[in-house]
Structure 1
Amino acid sequence: MKELALSVKNLSFQYPNQPKESVRNVTFQVRKGEWVALVGHNGSGKSTVAKLLMGLLKAKSGVIKIFDTILNEETIWDIRKRMGIVFQNPDNQFVGTTVQDDVAFGLENNGVPREQMIERVRAAIQQVGMEEFLLKEPHYLSGGQKQRVAIAGIIALQPDLIILDEATSMLDPKGRREVLEAIYNLNIKQNMTVISITHDLEEVVKADKVIVMNEGEVIAEGTPLQIFSLGEKLEEIRLDLPFVMKVRNELKKVGFPLQLNSVTLEELVDELWTLYLNK
């Protein structure tokens, strides 16, 4: 069993002047190297949980442990050195005049030696496929390219845990695909622990685990397939099934004998092709 990267136990939070808690008794775990998606509609409490994990809010009750260290005022700065956070709007994270300078910024602040810094910057930019944009100004890039640069800046710092707070919500479909592919490669090839906060179930098909929140509480937890199988229950809390699952369900209704647990487009195409060949 892999060691825990994050443990949340009985977490609750209430905003001032609000009649009830925004987060109530939330408990879940994330193991090292996992990609866990925290999903829910606007107002479900997922973004509040993200702020609590980042130490931007202080919990009313409960315990957050990150790599076996309890998150509190004394430990927050040491913990943040092991975390990388990518926000909704990448423009708010840019400080450098070029892509290369921006990715190097955090390393310079941490006093990383120049030769090591150059190597880490180039490696990070290569991992997100932005090598040809090294000397470009970040603000002239597309949305997906900007977010990949923001992710490169986090990769260069070599954190143990990355939190993505609605990191694709402002992107077009192409930009969303680019960012999700970069995240997937980090998770698989670098064994990076990833927590993604999102309202879009299309983004969670490759996650190891999905945690569903509604009205401040965790209402379901499981693999993407287990969560997608909830069907109408997800629609009741204003979450829409991914396109592939909708197509799969319609195909089964008209008689296609689909048996495999395909949740991605590639898997569904392979399953349909196998059925065709075995006719």
Structure 2
Amino acid sequence: MLFNIFKNPKSNISSIEVIPTWYVIWGTLNNLTENVLWQDDQFAIISALATEQFALSPTKQFVVVGDVWLTNRVELLQTLGVEPSGFLENNCQLIAQLWEKFGSECLKFLVGMFGLVVWDRQQQVLWLGRDRIGSRTLYYTTTSAIRAIAPKMRALTPYRSTELDLVALRDYLCCAFVPGERTLWQQVKEVRPGTVVEMPSEKVYTYWELEEEITSGDQLFDQRVVDLSMQIPPEYKLSGVEEKAVLKQAVADILPQAIIHRPKSGMMVPVQMGFRKY
């Protein structure tokens, strides 16, 4: 077969397929009875949940729920001083033990894909974390006495309003995606990749950022310019339906208008070079 070169028969990494079937409720809980897997006074895990998606820390202080796939289990277990061959628990249990020892700092140690929720029963603090590149999604509602968190937005339907976020809708129509933490719904946010959200304070901490070394001497690609551009809000990058509005204004006196406003032409992809002719 053409793609046999990508197979590694010696690989011992587990399958990355995870079916997210859970959501959690946090806040003022009243008469939850249907599909409740675990519950205390302020936190409940709802819906069908696979065993590997739930764990309690050894002291029962932390509850961990999530879709987790890790590639560095051995290194993490060694960090805990645990013999890898003797640890048969799931990845959520591993994170629960790491969280008990290192707190939210343990997210920096994780290599893989995950969207997880950690409930600190003792401190009454909720943490929402997402992997570095956003391979797993995680959404949460932002209003009312009850907050809902889920890996799929449709699971939040009973807990959000039906009001659209018009700024997010504009961004989607212009760019085919919604940048930042906004979603198409006013009362729903997305946990950004490489960040962890603390509740009830709603503080957002960045535990990982993409670092790029700029080697070109061109001032346009100066690191300070790159850092500044990443901080520009989307509404300043779009002017109505015109993309890159700020950049176009900055080079208006340098480049001809025909170049600045010319339509996109795309580029050819050398697909034929990657296939054999029979």
TM-score (norm 1): 0.23
More helix by share: 1
TM-score (norm 2): 0.23
